[in-house]
Amino acid sequence: MAPFGKIYSYPNNPRVNRALAIADLNGLEIEIPEFTVGDAPTHKTPEFLAKFPLGKIPAFEGADGFYLTESIAIATYFAKSGPKADQLLGADVKTQALISQWALFAEAELFNNAFVPIAMVILKVYALDEKRFNDHIAGFERDARYLEKSLEGGKKHLVGDKLTLADIVVTSLLYFAFKHLIGAELRKELPNLVAYTKAFADLPEHKKRFGELEFCETRITPQS
């Protein structure tokens, strides 16, 4: 099979891994070029900027010379480019709108609220600000309870009765949340969310890109 294209990013970027999981589901071969960070990052080179002027990652370069940035756009393009397009993106406008709603929720709410505390304490790329940390933790817990409510009744998918882009985008972020933010006490309040995420952890395409699902006993704190 000829490569569909290549995607540029640092290793283990969840926004890339979810796109790769979608590519796997659709039978698309995606190359992952070597990517450097530090003093000479790949995305700041003249060659990269000639293709992607904003220097943003992830970035996709199609085998046909098509260039694309923004992670949701890349994931959607992969979803549309194979035999499972209707399943992953919906075959009618209302289903498509609901899938878009969850994808945007994941980016605007879930990622932001989960990433900031992790970036402060684990990655140490943000200065520690306890008020900001706590505000995002509160926002994340609100998001988690919203998901719990949405999964009531033993629902296995966020939209309809089959795997869609919505599930892959949301679970890609929940992997990190369960590892760092959803401790044992909070998990007691989220049985639907726990069961939902565990089911996706066993999906071969998901496990290939994200590995084993890990649970923390207690969530991180500003003093961690």
- pLDDT single digits (tens) 104-154: 999 999 999 999 999 999 999 899 999 999 999 999 999 999 999 999 999
Residue among 187, 176, 159, 178 nearest 88 (CA)? 159
DSSP letter (8 states) at residue 68: E
Amino acid identity of residue 52, one-letter, is F
Per the CB < 8 A criterion, the answer to whether 4 and 64 are in contact is: no
pLDDT in tens, 62-114: 999 999 999 999 999 999 999 999 999 999 999 999 999 999 999 999 999 99
CA torsion sign for 224, 222, 176, 126 is: negative
Whether the predicted model's global pTM rises above the 0.95 cut: no
71: tokens are 């992670």
Q: What is the pLDDT of residue 39?
A: 79
CB of 190 within 8 A of CB of 148? yes
Can you tell me the mean pLDDT for 182-199? 97
* 90-210 belongs to CATH 1.20.1050.10: yes
Residues 174 and 197 sit within 8 Å (Cβ to Cβ): yes
Per-residue confidence (pLDDT) for residue 44, from 0 to 100? 93
- Residue spans of the domains in the chain: they are 5-86, 90-210
For residue 177, give the nearest of 126, 113, 224, 107 by alpha carbon.
113
Q: What are the structure tokens assigned to 70, written together?
A: 């923004």
In the chain, % of residues over pLDDT 70: 100
**Cα–Cα dist 48/126, whole Å:** 26
Is residue 166 over pLDDT 90? Answer: yes
Give 46-66 pLDDT, tens digit per residue.
999 999 999 999 999 999 999
d(CA 207, CA 20) in angstroms, rounded, equals: 11
The answer, yes or no, to whether residue 1 has pLDDT greater than 70, is no
Tell me how far CA of residue 54 lies from CA of 8, 75, 223, in angstroms.
14, 19, 36
pLDDT score at 25: 96
Average pLDDT over residues 13-23: 95
Q: How far apart are CA 169 and CA 71, in angstroms?
A: 10
Q: What is the mean pLDDT of the chain?
A: 95
Identical fold for domains 5-86 and 90-210, yes or no, is: no
Query: Rounded mean pLDDT of 13-31?
Result: 95
**∠ Cα 29 34 35 (to 5°):** 115
Q: Give the pLDDT mean for 161-182.
A: 96
Q: Is the pLDDT confidence value at 9 over 90?
A: yes
Q: Is 5-86 assigned to CATH 3.40.30.10?
A: yes
pLDDT band at 40 (very low <50, low <70, confident <90, very high): confident
Q: What angle do CA 64, 69, 71 make, to 5 degrees?
A: 115
Q: Which residues of 93-103 are buried (b: 16+ CB within 10 A; e: fewer)?
A: eebbebbbebb
